[in-house]
Homo-oligomer: A and B are copies of this chain.
Amino acid sequence: MNNVLAVGPFKEEQKKRLEEAGKGCSFRFCADFNGAGVSPEEIASADVIIGNLTPSRINESPRLKLMQLTSAGADAYVKPGVLAKGTVLCNSTGAYNKTVSQHAFAVTLAMQKKLYLYRDNQNEKLWRDEGEVGSIADSTVLVMGLGEIGIAYAKMCKALGAYVIGVKRRPSACPEGIDEVYTMDALDEVLPRADIVFSILPGTGATYHIYTAERFKLMKKSAIFVNCGRGDAVDNKVLYDALNSGEIAAASIDVAEGEPLTADSPLWGLKNLFITPHVAGFFHIPDTLEIITDIACHNLKAFLSGGSYRNIVDFSTGYKA
């Protein structure tokens, strides 16, 4: 019999769907996001793990055949020592499109309209006009990373009248909803054109510290930088300096290099930086866990019947293959 270990806040109806898809398997559910309540024996005896069990606890388990992440990011699981050779790794790319793109778009508009300043003013009981604001309909938006989230975000910008430039890893035809598309080598040429730079790059070697001090200098002084991808795409010190010196007008980050940000980080106190604590994704809108359940059900069936998996991760890139 196959043992399925499912960690995460699945609802009863979702658990039933998983059990139906994995008929004949023995199920162990654990509501903790990272499976803190699961024993080492339960991990070692699992044939399938659904959910983001803490990677350091997997120890290349030889019995594990399918590791179905509830996250889109897979970087912590492709590192050596986590999964044994032969374990199939699938992510939940797709499940977070709506929640992350919505958050990023809400933050983009909030930054343009200086809502973070108005909240600070409110807390000082100040009825004070903060002057000119941005207009999404008159903005050029640079979307760094044209996965499904990037494209969903781009479509929202476009729907409100923005001009959208996309940058992606591999050359391709221009996706619908994007006005111009480039590969990474053109980055320095397109950065100066953007009113908004939205980064939804995954964490890979190629994206580590990609936003250098020089690149912030290439951006408009009026530019707004929004990062909902990975924190290590920009060095915290570089981001601090770019904002503190006015190289760019403002930024919002849902991710930081080193999470959670410690209380001594100078980033907290920057007036023109708005911080959200990695909440764009997670399960904060109901849709997300529904779609994850869909993917997990499909892959459980594929595991049992020898069908083809959805969202297999390529270990060499950390992306969906």
How many chain A residues touch B (Cβ–Cβ < 8 Å)?
52
Query: Which one of A107, A119, A129 has the greatest number of beta carbons of chain B within 10 Å?
Result: A119
Which residue of chain B is the closest to A116 with respect to CB atoms?
A: B119
Known: A115-B115, A120-B123, A261-B127. A133 touches B285 (CB 8 A): yes
A119 to B119, CA, bound (A): 7
A260 to B103, CA, bound (A): 31
Please tell me which one of the listed residues B115, B129, B136 contacts residue A107 in the complex, with CB atoms under 8 A apart: B115
In the assembled complex, the CB of A310 is this many whole angstroms from the nearest CB of chain B, namely: 22
Which residues does chain B contribute within 8 Å of A126, judged by CB atoms? 277
Question: Is A311 in the interface zone, CB < 8 Å from B?
Answer: no
A64 to B77, CA, bound (A): 76
A138 to B99, CA, bound (A): 11
Please tell me which one of the listed residues B116, B133, B277 contacts residue A128 in the complex, with CB atoms under 8 A apart: B277
In the assembled complex, the CB of A216 is this many whole angstroms from the nearest CB of chain B, namely: 21
Per-position binary interface string of chain A over residues 259-288, scored 1 when its CB falls under 8 Å from any chain B CB and 0 otherwise: 111010100100000111101001011110
In the assembled complex, the CB of A163 is this many whole angstroms from the nearest CB of chain B, namely: 15
Which residues does chain B contribute within 8 Å of A321, judged by CB atoms? none
Copies in the complex: 2
Question: Is A113 in the interface zone, CB < 8 Å from B?
Answer: yes
Which residues does chain B contribute within 8 Å of A103, judged by CB atoms? 113, 133
Please tell me which one of the listed residues B112, B128, B279, B286 contacts residue A129 in the complex, with CB atoms under 8 A apart: B279
Which residues does chain B contribute within 8 Å of A112, judged by CB atoms? 106
Q: Are A277 and B118 in contact (CB under 8 A)?
A: yes
Which residue of chain B is the closest to A121 with respect to CB atoms?
A: B277
Q: Are A285 and B115 in contact (CB under 8 A)?
A: no
Q: Are B118 and A120 in contact (CB under 8 A)?
A: no
Query: Which one of A118, A121, A130 has the greatest number of beta carbons of chain B within 10 Å?
Result: A118
Per-position binary interface string of chain A over residues 146-167, scored 1 when its CB falls under 8 Å from any chain B CB and 0 otherwise: 0000000000100110000000
Which residues does chain B contribute within 8 Å of A287, judged by CB atoms? 135, 138
A259 to B128, CA, bound (A): 11
Question: Is A170 in the interface zone, CB < 8 Å from B?
Answer: no
Question: Is A110 in the interface zone, CB < 8 Å from B?
Answer: yes
Which residue of chain B is the closest to A113 with respect to CB atoms?
A: B106
Question: Is A193 in the interface zone, CB < 8 Å from B?
Answer: no
Q: Are B98 and A135 in contact (CB under 8 A)?
A: yes
Which residues does chain B contribute within 8 Å of A115, judged by CB atoms? 106-107, 110, 115-116, 119, 274, 276
Q: Are A138 and B285 in contact (CB under 8 A)?
A: yes
Please tell me which one of the listed residues B127, B279, B284 contacts residue A277 in the complex, with CB atoms under 8 A apart: B127
18 residue pairs bridging A and B, Cβ less than 8 Å apart: A98-B137, A99-B135, A102-B113, A106-B106, A106-B115, A109-B110, A118-B274, A118-B277, A119-B274, A121-B277, A122-B268, A122-B275, A127-B259, A129-B279, A130-B279, A135-B286, A138-B285, A159-B160
> Interface of A with B (CB < 8 Å)?
98-99, 102-103, 105-107, 109-110, 112-113, 115-116, 118-123, 125-138, 156, 159-160, 259-261, 263, 265, 268, 274-277, 279, 282, 284-287
